[in-house]
Amino acid sequence: MKNLWSDREARSFVRRYAKERVNRDRALRVYTSRLLGGEPALVLHGGGNTSVKTTMKDVMGQNIEVLCVKGSGWDMAAIEPEGLPAVRLGPLREMVKLKRLSDEDMVNAQRVNLLDSTAPNPSVETLLHAFLPHKFIDHTHANAVLSLTDQKDGEALCRRLFGKKMGYVPYIIPGLDLSRKTLQVYEADPSVQGLILLKHGIFTFGDTAKQAYSRMIGMVTLAELRLKKGRKKVFTAAKLPQKTTAVADIAPVLRGLTRYGGKRLIFDFRGGAKVLNFVNGKDIRRYACQGTATPDHVIRTKQKPLITPAPETGGLNAFRKGTARALDRYVKDYQAYFKRNNRRQKIKRTELDPMPRVIMVPGLGLFGLGADAKAARITADLAETNIEVITAAECLGAYKVISEADTFDIEYWSLEQAKLGKGSEKPLARHVSVVTGGCSGIGAATARALAAEGSEVAVLDQDEKAALAVAAEFGGLGLACDVTDSRAVRRAFDQVVKKYGGVDIVVSNAGAAWPGTIGEVPDKVLRDSFELNFFAHQSVAQNAVRVMVAQGTGGCLLFNTSKQAVNPSKDFGPYGLPKAATMALMRQYALDYGHLGIKSNAVNADRIRSGLLTDDMVKARARARGLSQSDYMSGNLLGREVTAEDVAKVFVDLARSTKTTAAIVTVDGGNIAAALR
Ligand code: ZN
């Protein structure tokens, strides 16, 4: 592993932070924490932690000895000084005398000694950092070190490799006991440069930021070189079908099956040679189900993945049945694991949902699952890291991690349990929405409104750059799609499914207006309008129900039909006719798919400033009626101008409603001629 320390960079950190009255120690702590955090083979997504012992002034202007240690919720790759909260060092060190300390009391004692009462909770490994005497301490969950220690004879392997340069600490869950044991190991030989925490990770320390960091890189490099030696080939491939089904066909089936208590999950797919080599192995059930490479991954990934049968092209039904059976076993095993381990707890734990968070599909790859796209991505990242660690471990010997009881203690940690039930989810959380014409006024407003309600949102538009820009506002997916090309629509839906695992809500919004007197209009104009204003809705809806039926979790179709469907304008037939057909289409979907829980509704909007009604058109129409522009726009029963946001709100309301289908809701401020009768 490359040592990225640069004197010049270090000086620039010191200079930059001096302006914010951050001292040299803390500035350098930020610098090397970022170096560590930026390397995924060392830490991932908030894993690992660092500290520095320094002095800071309290409110009385007195110099106080403090430990600045990584705060929970901060990622080292992007850490700032406020992500390293300062805790009074004296009181922390006093705690070494305690015989026992609950996690809750530990967190409280750390919080009451913060210099800034608004700072985040200091890391759960704070006491360990405080008890050791060194100025700079770095802690990572380096893949290479884990591949060595996560072995049957991991300790002996590490001792042979690192010798007396490192101390060796047996596995203990983070807290007072681990901190005291670590100090004991260090004191037995204070010449060590760091400590290997067996089945957990590595600490290095030093008088300077550079020394602690360089020792980390040095030790990890040693481990990497060791892993390269005498590597045996691993994972004999199992017999798999010649051709497997596409991710886009498999994911909705899995997403439907993993629903629990009415809640669905968002998926994140990973393929690639390393993943396939792992999931295609004959012995996958042995090496993939041992547990996670470092204990805290279990909170996101669970101890074991679900392993499905290999899907065969055309055999989707067999895949569904086989997976349902495997999942049933998985759930029963998980519940038994909970029962078994909860029995020995003094304070009984609350059982978490038994659904897997990692699904491995031989022949295809893996899925990370989470309550939202970000959680799913993190889970998939951790799963890939575990594959990396396990593969290297198996090349050397046999992968072996902490016991089931120790795993349970992390998964059901009292501090994690305390978070349960807190923080309410948004109404459309765990849902995936697709909006076509996603960059028009109404489309973009609807995409934003769905995202604000917690949904993952894919923005489809002819203009790829515009789609990406709208999606970037809320971290969604932007895709180029000409909805009149049915193959392009299929491709776009496949991409959405590959990204999120399925589809729940579809707003078929793309459209355009063609004027023309019906007796004279060229055939081509009418047909072009039918392509976009009718057939495109049909191909979008067809793809949507295909995915929804595979999921078996119902769904929601929404069409933008415009008032033309009900109240045609003179010389506007080419626009009104297909819109009227689309209104009938909406009802047909409601009728044909209602028994599967798929709702189908339409919004009938009028006089909205958007791509269809440009400012120039507003001007011309207002002039023709002898009205001012604003009088023209608010020329409705309520006398209020209707905006794209008003339309978006109704789309969201319909998406949230559970008992409305085959309905047309007007959003026009009241136009009695467009009222349904
Ligand atoms: Zn750790």
**Tens of pLDDT, residues 217-274:** 999 999 999 998 877 777 888 888 777 788 999 999 999 999 999 899 999 999 999 9
Across the range 23-30, mean pLDDT stands at 96
Is the pLDDT assigned to residue 677 strictly greater than 70?
Answer: no
Across the range 523-527, mean pLDDT stands at 96
pLDDT range class, residue 605, cuts 50, 70, 90: confident
Is the pLDDT assigned to residue 611 strictly greater than 70?
Answer: no
Give 33 Cα–ligand 1 centroid separation in angstroms.
14
Give 41 Cα–ligand 1 centroid separation in angstroms.
14
DSSP at 459: E
Across the range 658-674, mean pLDDT stands at 92
Percent of the chain with pLDDT over 70: 99
Is the pLDDT assigned to residue 149 strictly greater than 80?
Answer: yes
pLDDT in tens, 96-116: 999 999 989 999 999 999 999
Give 141 Cα–ligand 1 centroid separation in angstroms.
6
The mean of the pLDDT values for the chain is 94
Give 409 Cα–ligand 1 centroid separation in angstroms.
15
List of E strands, 343-420: 358-361, 365-370
Please tell me the distance from the alpha carbon of residue 294 to that of residue 386, in angstroms, as a whole number. 9
Q: What is the pLDDT of residue 231?
A: 76
Across the range 639-661, mean pLDDT stands at 95
Higher pLDDT, 238 or 125: 125
Instruction: Please report how the helices 536-551 and 247-257 are oriented relative to each other, as an axis angle in degrees rounded to 10.
Output: 50
Give 116 Cα–ligand 1 centroid separation in angstroms.
25
Is the pLDDT assigned to residue 454 strictly greater than 80?
Answer: yes
Give 412 Cα–ligand 1 centroid separation in angstroms.
17
Across the range 433-457, mean pLDDT stands at 96
Q: What is the pLDDT of residue 474?
A: 97
Please tell me the distance from the alpha carbon of residue 82 to that of residue 78, in angstroms, as a whole number. 11
pLDDT in tens, 287-331: 999 999 999 899 999 999 999 999 987 688 999 999 999 999 999
Give 429 Cα–ligand 1 centroid separation in angstroms.
31
Tokens of 289: 């189900």
Spatial neighbors of 209 by CB under 8 A, at least 6 apart, are: 10, 28, 29, 31, 32, 52, 136
Decide if 252 contacts 550 (C-beta within 8 A).
yes
Give 635 Cα–ligand 1 centroid separation in angstroms.
65
Please tell me the distance from the alpha carbon of residue 48 to that of residue 661, in angstroms, as a whole number. 50
Across the range 163-188, mean pLDDT stands at 96
Q: What is the pLDDT of residue 237?
A: 83
Decide if 78 contacts 37 (C-beta within 8 A).
yes
Q: What is the pLDDT of residue 10?
A: 97
Give 48 Cα–ligand 1 centroid separation in angstroms.
5
Decide if 556 contacts 433 (C-beta within 8 A).
no
Please tell me the distance from the alpha carbon of residue 506 to that of residue 602, in angstroms, as a whole number. 11
Give 671 Cα–ligand 1 centroid separation in angstroms.
64
Give 199 Cα–ligand 1 centroid separation in angstroms.
10
Give 37 Cα–ligand 1 centroid separation in angstroms.
13
Spatial neighbors of 11 by CB under 8 A, at least 6 apart, are: none
Encoded amino acid at 247, one letter = V
Across the range 469-494, mean pLDDT stands at 97
Across the range 7-24, mean pLDDT stands at 96
Q: Choose the weakest-confidence range: 30-44, 72-86, 610-624, 640-654.
A: 610-624
Across the range 45-59, mean pLDDT stands at 92
Decide if 358 contacts 379 (C-beta within 8 A).
yes
Is the pLDDT assigned to residue 603 strictly greater than 90?
Answer: yes
Give 187 Cα–ligand 1 centroid separation in angstroms.
21
Encoded amino acid at 557, one letter = L
Distances (CA, A) of 21 to 16, 18, 81, 640: 9, 5, 10, 54
Give 182 Cα–ligand 1 centroid separation in angstroms.
13
Q: What residues are neighbours of ligand 1 (ion), with CB under 5 Å?
A: 201
Encoded amino acid at 288, one letter = A
Give 224 Cα–ligand 1 centroid separation in angstroms.
19
Give 139 Cα–ligand 1 centroid separation in angstroms.
7
Q: What is the pLDDT of residue 45?
A: 85
For residue 597, how many other CB atoms are within 10 A of its CB? 14
Q: Residue 622, SS3? A: helix
Higher pLDDT, 635 or 92: 92
pLDDT range class, residue 29, cuts 50, 70, 90: very high
